[in-house]
Structure formats: structure tokens, C-alpha cells
Amino acid sequence: MNQNDIFFKDESYKIVGICMEIHRILGSGLSEVVYKDALEYEFELHGIPCEREKKYPVEYKGIILPHVFFADFVVFDNIILEVKALNSIIDTHIAQTINYIKLTKGQFGLLVNFGAPSLQYKRLIV
């Protein structure tokens, strides 16, 4: 069994299950913010700890840059959840999510896309 098989398995299952339910009910084609609203509602309903649009400073060569980035969600205190509503997931989205995980000094993230006809998601381990 490799690390990807067990790393945050239960938490991932819960998050992806909620995403699948949202996609089943709302379908594709809505704006990203609508899916984020539904996620926030479902996380609260299921008692899943999350922070929406959590602000993170960006450090560069020992200084903090003036601009920050906002994680779409931090779920279960340490899972970065990046939400998209596009035709498909591309390598740029994966790289972006990996950078977000690194910037938060985390190890794991989920990239979820509600814009495709079927929900798309990627588990990312740094």
C-alpha cells in the first residue's frame, strides 16, 4: 500500500462525497462562488471544520510580500480544497494547488472541478 492510498483517506472520502452530492443536485455551469456557498453549507451541516477564503501571507527570500493568497477552503484544519468551475482540470490548476499547499506548509490538498459534466477531482500530496 502506498502513501497516496491512506493519506487523509477518510477525510477525502467525506469531502469528495459532499462535492459529488452538490454536483448531482446543482449540475455544472454555475459560477464557482455558488459551489463554494453549497460547500460551506454542507460542511456546516455535516459538522466538518472548515475555513473559507483563509488568508495566507506569501514569504519570499525572508520577507513577506504585500499581496496574500486566499485558500478557497481549509478543511479539517489542514486540507487545502481548491474549487474550480471550468470545462476541465488542466496542469496549471494542479500546479496552482500544489503551490498553495506548499505556501500553507501543508502536505495534502484536493482540487475539485464542478464545471465538467461529471465532477472531477485530484488528490495532491506534497
Q: Which three cell numbers stand for residue 113?
A: 472541478
Q: Name the residue ranges covered by the structural domains of the chain.
A: 3-125
What count of other Cβ atoms lies within 10 Å of the Cβ of residue 97? 24
Distance (Å, whole) CA 83 – CA 85: 7
Global pTM value = 0.91
On the question of pLDDT at 2 being above 90, the answer is: no
Distance (Å, whole) CA 101 – CA 82: 10
Distance (Å, whole) CA 33 – CA 15: 17
| Contact present, 82 and 112 (Cβ < 8 Å) | yes
Digit-coded pLDDT (tens) for 11-59:
999 999 999 999 999 999 999 999 999 999 999 999 999 999 999 999 9
Distance (Å, whole) CA 22 – CA 4: 25
